[in-house]
Amino acid sequence: MSFLSGRSAPTSGAVNYDKIDIAVTELDSITDFFNRMVGSCYNKCIGAKFPADGDLSKGESVCIDKCVAKYNEVQKKVGEKLQAKGAAAGGAPGGGSAFGAI
């Protein structure tokens, strides 16, 4: 998922804001993904039930581990399918977003 690997060596001195932009976008994307994962796995494994105590039970801990693994798998699968769809459409991003009609 990293867009930064395999690029050329750093240029000296000046700040390349395009590079920074891409890095910040990627960072935002990973942060968003993580926050959603925390929220979803909380809802699925712990939910809104009255907490008996402040520790995670064994069942909840196991559920969280599995939830994270599945979430990562789903991310990979969806990424693959998006890439396949993009390649099939000739590289252009598909319609269905607000930017497609411009």
Partner 1 sequence: MDFSNFNAAEQAHMTKVIEKKQMQDFLRLYSNIVDKCFNTCCNDFTSKALSSKEETCISNCFDKFTKHTERVGARFAEANAETAAGSK
Identify which of residues 77 and 94 has a Cβ nearer to partner 1 in the complex: 77
Question: Please, which residues have CB within 8 angstroms of residue 67's CB and are 6 or more apart in sequence?
Answer: 37, 40, 41, 44, 45
Span from 18-26, 77-85, 88-96 in contact with partner 1 (CB under 8 A):
18-26
With the CA atoms of 48, 54, 59 and 64 taken in that order, what torsion angle do they form, in degrees rounded to the nearest 10? 70
The footprint of partner 1 on residues 37-56 (CB under 8 A) is 37-39, 41-42, 45-46, 48-56
Q: List the x/- string, 54-93, binding to partner 1 by CB under 8 A.
A: xxx---xx--xx-xxx--x---------------------
Neighbours of 58 (CB within 10 A): 8
Question: Helix 58-88 vs helix 17-45: angle between axes, to the nearest 10 degrees?
Answer: 130
Identify which of residues 47 and 95 has a Cβ nearer to partner 1 in the complex: 47
Identify which of residues 76 and 85 has a Cβ nearer to partner 1 in the complex: 76
